[in-house]
Amino acid sequence: MNSESVLQMTSQMLVCRKIIVLTGLPGAGKSVVGDVAREMGLPVISLGDVVREEVAKKGLEPTLDNILRVANELRKALGKNAIAKLSINKIASACISNCIVVVDGVRSLDEIETIKESLLKDVIILAIHSSQKIRFERILNRGREGDPKTFEEFRKRDFEELSWGIGNVIALADKMIVNEGRIEEFINEIRKFFSEALRNWCT
């Protein structure tokens, strides 16, 4: 029996009602959403962490170049849905005992199709959007290892992600939250979104 059939069999045991996939360009605020989701008791699977794990497995430093190179190599070797394929067992595990599972960092419609087809669950796309200038300022302030240091590097990363199809995911989002104001307002809006989701699908 191949792994797809095993997953389809297992999907009947998965109790989750919805998978909320989180998308948005770098610095838009996805990690903040992930933190709020965890605070509210929801499991969050990060596709970015899956790429970082692959970078570490190869013994490479988590620099921006290495992260982008490994992500591109995985897509060439396994297809446009590579990162979703590598994450599917983690998502399925979270789906066994949670009503909603959040997947952070979806960058293409192919990844969404893979999640839908493998787990046979409804997928809701939550897109976070902010202007390029605001995102760049936030990334400079964040100072995360592997983050772009110049506007040129930052733009290169934006265009890399756009080439993977993230623009289509944002355009087809079920819910769009614009994050350009105070962080407290953003956090309140996210809490409201997850509270409604829990009320609609988990009671």
Ligand X SMILES: Nc1ncnc2c1ncn2[C@@H]1O[C@H](COP(=O)(O)OP(=O)(O)OP(=O)(O)O)[C@@H](O)[C@H]1O
> Token pair 């430093």 is at which residue?
61
Contact partners, residue 183, CB within 8 Å, separation at least 6: 32
Binding window for ligand X (CB under 6 A); candidates: 10-18, 21-29, 61-69, 88-96: 21-29
Residue 80 vs 129, nearer CB to ligand X: 129
Shortest Cβ 195–ligand X spacing (Å): 19
Beta strand spans in the chain (E)? 18-23, 44-46, 100-104, 122-129, 175-178
Q: Is 107 a binder of ligand X (CB under 6 A)?
A: no
Q: Is 142 a binder of ligand X (CB under 6 A)?
A: yes
Shortest Cβ 110–ligand X spacing (Å): 19
Q: Annotated binding site for ATP: which residue ranges? A: 24-31
- Rounded-to-integer distance, Cα 20 and Cα 122, Å: 9
Query: Which DSSP category does 120 fall into?
Result: T
Tokens of 53: 């794990």
* β partners of residue 23: 127
Q: Is 186 a binder of ligand X (CB under 6 A)?
A: yes
Q: Is 175 a binder of ligand X (CB under 6 A)?
A: no
Binding window for ligand X (CB under 6 A); candidates: 10-18, 20-28, 91-99, 189-197: 20-28
Is 166:83 a contact under the CB 8 Å cutoff? no
Is 102:43 a contact under the CB 8 Å cutoff? yes
Residue 14 vs 24, nearer CB to ligand X: 24
Residue 4 vs 174, nearer CB to ligand X: 174
- Rounded-to-integer distance, Cα 196 and Cα 203, Å: 11
139 CB neighbour count, 10 Å cutoff: 18
Shortest Cβ 30–ligand X spacing (Å): 3
Q: Kindly identify the residues of this chain, within the stretch 31-70, that bind ligand X according to CB under 6 A.
A: 31-32, 48
Q: Is 24 a binder of ligand X (CB under 6 A)?
A: yes
Q: Using CB under 6 A as the criterion, which residues of the chain lie in contact with ligand X when the complex forms?
A: 24, 26-32, 48, 138, 142, 179, 183, 186
